[in-house]
Structures are given as structure tokens and as C-alpha cells.
Amino acid sequence: MEPYEIALIVLVLIIIIAIPFLKKFVVYQFISLVIGAFLIGYLFNEIFKTSGMSLQSSVLLILLVGGTVYNSIKFYKKNVA
């Protein structure tokens, strides 16, 4: 394994361990919603360019968008309203 691969694996493990502690902070919740929306858009673009919209990819994107909308509404009700 290359050193950057080891560093990437360690970074991912640290993030996985830290997520429950980070969910307490409003800034982390907001940034994760924004980054998640951009990642879903990128994923939609790549799926559409490579294979077209099949049933599986449509279901995946509907579930991802639904989860993002649910988390956004929950964040809004808890922190803004």
C-alpha cells in the first residue's frame, strides 16, 4: 500500500469514529447537508452520463434526495424555527 492510501484509510476511520460526536454541533449538521446535496448532484450527473437512468439508479437517487429533504426539514425545525 502506498502512504497516501494508508493516510486516507486512517482519515476515514477517524471521521467514522467522530461522526456521533460531531452531530451535536449545528455547524457540522449544516455543512454536511450542503456537502451532501452537492454529492447527490454529482452522483446523479455521473449516473446519467455513464449508464442512463435505470430503475435501480432512480430508486437510489429518490432515497438519497428523500433522506436529504428529511434531514433538512429536521434541521430547520430544530435550529431555525
pLDDT digits (tens, 9 = 90+) for 3-36: 888 898 998 899 889 888 888 888 888 888 899 8
Distance between CA atoms of 40 and 65, rounded to whole angstroms? 7
Rounded to an integer, what is the distance from CA 62 to the centroid of its chain? 14
Please, is 79 exposed, middle or buried when counting C-beta atoms within 10 Å of its C-beta (0-12, 13-18, 19+)?
exposed
Distance between CA atoms of 14 and 39, rounded to whole angstroms? 20
Average pLDDT value for residue range 57-71: 90
Evaluated on CA atoms 24, 29, 35, 40, the torsion sign reads: positive
Are the beta carbons of 75 and 25 closer than 8 angstroms?
no
pLDDT the model gives residue 23: 82
User: Percent of the chain, pLDDT > 70?
Assistant: 100
